[in-house]
Amino acid sequence: MRFPVLKLEKRSVCGRSHGCCRMRSPAHRTRDIERQAGYLKPEHCAPPPLRNSSDTMWFIRDGCGIVCGVITWLLIFYAEFVVGFVMLLPAKNILYSLFNGALFSSLAFLALASHAKAMCTDPGAVPKGNATKEFIESLQLKPGQVVYKCPKCCSIKPDRAHHCSVCKRCIKKMDHHCPWVNNCVGESNQKYFVLFTMYISLISLHALILVAFHFVLCFEDDWTKCSNFSPPATVILLILLCFEALLFLIFTAVMFGTQVHSICSDETGIEQLKKEERRWAKKSRWMNLKVVFGHPFSVAWLSPFSKPDHGKADMYQYIV
């Protein structure tokens, strides 16, 4: 079998382009190695295993990620307990309790649903072990087209894909691996991760406001009448909730902002960190948002149960 002719940039022995003396990043040097025809070695790759119908749910068996995911759910349930049983149930104003209880519970439910979707959705994994002779022949590569092979998972990976050492797969448009959702944040689950950070920041802000109101009301009234628990227990529970909410509000708000900026600029966290050369077409910020959340704009953007419908929004094209 003849491999396709790979188009390479003419370089001198020192690795610099002719006519310039710029240094190259490690990522670029790795890409140059992956462009070499001998690097593919398809004869060393076994065909990818067939997936059964029962093997449809994506779940990473990582101990640290599983523990972080369980902790996340327990912290949300703790906040729900303190808000409902410590602050809202003893409140004298029934309308105040019903409104805030419904609002907090709804946001907490959406946060848990977004977390579950981000954790159990395939982030865009490249088929493992597809760097075979048959697959390369099926690509019908044109002369001069560049292909990349991942030596770790033996896959022909698209452009903008990176290998995750935890997931042990190459992920399309990988942003980062997040242990709190026990998954990579990639092309197919970035929407759910953004929603998760948004809803966590909202319930954290709501919890802080409720704690502040409760402290004011209890200082003006008798502490034994503003809670079903003893005053010391009430204070401890409220302080712990305040600390948890403040910590998660700062963390998730910053993460939400960085994710939105990454989507609008069409540059993932790994690409920013490695300062990779931009080789993809530039789109408007609004189009970049549609690529992640779906087309057209609707209330479904805020729903973790709605799979993004890209419609007329052009998906990213990957060179293979």
Nearest-angstrom CA–CA distance, 153 and 163: 8
The secondary element (H helix, E strand) that includes residue 139 is: none
Render 231-271 in DSSP notation, one character per residue: HHHHHHHHHHHHHHHHHHHHHHHHHHHHHHHHHHHT--HHH
> Tokens in use for 278?
């931009």
Within 10 Å of residue 101's Cβ, how many Cβ atoms? 18
Active-site residue, from 45, 154, 164, 178: 178
Residues 6+ apart with CB under 8 A from 292: 190, 191, 194, 263, 308
Residues 6+ apart with CB under 8 A from 81: none
Q: Tokens 């991942």 sit at which residue?
A: 150
Active site residue 14: no
Amino acid symbol at 215: F
Residue 158: helix, strand or coil by DSSP? coil
Measure CA 117 to chain center.
10
Nearest-angstrom CA–CA distance, 124 and 157: 11
Spatial CA neighbour of 40 closest among 170, 174, 157, 143: 157
Nearest-angstrom CA–CA distance, 51 and 186: 21
Active site residues: 178
